[in-house]
Amino acid sequence: MVVARLRSLAPRAKGQSDDDLTLEGVSREVLQAIEDAVVPGSPANPFATPFLQARNYLYWRLLLDTGARRGEGRHAKAEDISYSTRRFRIRVSKTVPRTVPIGPQTAEAFDRFINEHWAHLPRAARGRGYLFTDEKGVHLSLRSCNRIFERIRQHVPGVPAFLAPHTLRRTWNDSFSERVDAMPPGQRLSEKQENEMRNRHQGWSKKSSMGSRYSKRHIRREADRIAEEMASNIAGPKED
């Protein structure tokens, strides 16, 4: 009874540390290696047919540009992407539907896929409108979306074992933090503005704590980087 009482009074450790590995993204070097491999026509492309190469490249680019969840990308319809305005309308989301920007490479990948492949799907498939289907027009499952990234992990050297569709969501947040840090002092966002913008783009509610979690992680990483630079210059060996 005494032991049980002492255990009940002992301070509890927090279940989640500051070093939240569940938020880990990938480096620019890894992203470039994947981009070079999965662009249609690449000799290193791990996907067999021109259709699969074009479809999977578009899915990769869409998630990379927007940080969308795998299901949000999977439910994209051809009408949800605007080539002229470079916008992706996320209609189906487990949180907040929204419209987000895409880059010129992604817009071009969409245009090529539509004209060269999607337009030749069976009429019934085109009528349903789903962008990501197999070559017969059957809408991809979430498991099929995962397999795209499994194949990338297997065939592209240097890709970490944790790469998955959601990893690009984390990577987008890393890039957003870096971009905010690089803003001139007079244009720098406040912490509140940064979190509001991040929550809006990623489909979290205005009251969500997810934006601040990513901000906090970025601050920790920057603090570690600066501390490492200091440690390499403090109390180093003196020259004779």
Give the CATH number, domain containing residue 25: 1.10.443.10
40 belongs to a structural domain:
yes
Residue 9: predicted pLDDT: 60
Q: Which two tokens stand for residue 58?
A: 């578009």
pLDDT confidence of residue 27: 93
Count of structural domains, the chain: 1
Asked whether residue 117 is domain-assigned, the answer is yes
Instruction: Give the C-alpha separation, 45 to 154, whole Å.
Output: 12
36 domain residue, yes or no: yes
User: In the numeric block, which tokens belong to residue 160?
Assistant: 């970490």
Cα angle at 33 between 41 and 72, to 5 degrees?
A: 80
Segments forming the whole domain that contains residue 60: 21-168
174 lies in a domain?
no
Domain assignment of residue 232, yes or no: no
This prediction's pTM: 0.81
Position 44 in a domain: yes
Are 46 and 155 in contact, with CB atoms under 8 Å apart? yes
Vertex 118: Cα angle to 163 and 56 (nearest 5): 10
Q: What is the pLDDT along the chain (240 residues), one digit of tens a residue?
A: 666 665 666 555 444 444 444 557 899 999 999 999 999 999 999 999 999 999 999 999 999 999 999 999 999 999 999 999 999 999 999 999 999 999 999 999 999 999 999 999 999 999 999 999 999 999 999 999 999 999 999 999 999 999 999 999 999 998 988 888 888 988 888 888 888 888 999 998 888 888 777 766 666 666 666 677 777 777 555 555
Task: Concatenate the DSSP letters of all residues of the chain into one string.
Answer: -HHHHHHHHSPPPPSS-SS-GGG----HHHHHHHHHHHSTT-TT----SHHHHHHHHHHHHHHHHH---HHHHHT-BGGGEETTTTEEEE---SS--EEEE--HHHHHHHHHHHHHTGGGS-HHHHHH-BSSB-TTSPBPPHHHHHHHHHHHHHHSTT--TT--HHHHHHHHHHHHHHHHHTS-GGGPPPHHHHHHHHHHHHT--TT-SHHHHHHHHHHHHHHHHHHHHHHTTSSPPPP-
